[in-house]
Amino acid sequence: MSIKNPKGEGDATKSYFIGFFLSLLFTAVPYYLVTSKTVSGTALLATIVSIAVIQMAIQVFFFLHLGRGPKPLYNVVFFAGTVGLILVVVIGSIFIMNNLHYNMAPADVTTKLAQDESIAQVSGTSTGACQEVYKNYQVIFTDGKMSPHSINAHLCDTLTFVNKDSSAHIVVFGTYPQDASYSGEADLNVNKSVPQTITLNQLGSYQFYDQLDRQTTGDFTVSP
Q: Are 217 and 149 in contact (CB under 8 A)?
A: yes
Side-chain-side CA neighbours of residue 113 (13 Å): 13
**Predicted pLDDT of residue 222:** 94
Residue type, position 139, single letter = V
Q: Are 155 and 162 in contact (CB under 8 A)?
A: no
CA dihedral of 20, 23, 29, 31, whole degrees rounded to 10: -100
Beta strand 136-142 with 158-163 is: parallel
Alpha-carbon gap, residue 160 to 128, rounded angstroms: 20
Helix axes 9-36, 41-58, angle to 10 degrees: 170
Homologous superfamily of 136-223:
Cupredoxins -  blue copper proteins (2.60.40.420)
E strands in 114-195: 121-122, 125-126, 136-142, 145-147, 150-154, 158-163, 169-175, 178-179, 187-190
Each residue's pLDDT expressed in tens, for the chain with a length of 224 residues: 444 455 455 677 888 888 889 889 988 988 888 887 777 767 787 888 888 888 888 887 777 766 565 656 666 777 777 778 877 887 888 788 776 655 555 666 666 666 666 666 666 666 667 878 889 999 999 988 889 999 999 988 999 999 998 888 889 998 888 888 887 787 888 887 788 998 888 889 999 999 888 888 999 999 99
Q: Are 156 and 118 in contact (CB under 8 A)?
A: no
| φ, ψ at 19 (rounded to 5°) | -65, -40
**Predicted pLDDT of residue 1:** 43
Q: How far is CA 44 from CA 13, 37, 49, 87, in A?
A: 34, 9, 9, 17
E strands in 13-124: 121-122
Q: Are 79 and 60 in contact (CB under 8 A)?
A: yes
| φ, ψ at 36 (rounded to 5°) | -85, -15
pTM of the model: 0.53
**Predicted pLDDT of residue 89:** 83
**Predicted pLDDT of residue 2:** 44
The C-alpha angle 13, 19, 24, rounded to 5 degrees, equals 130
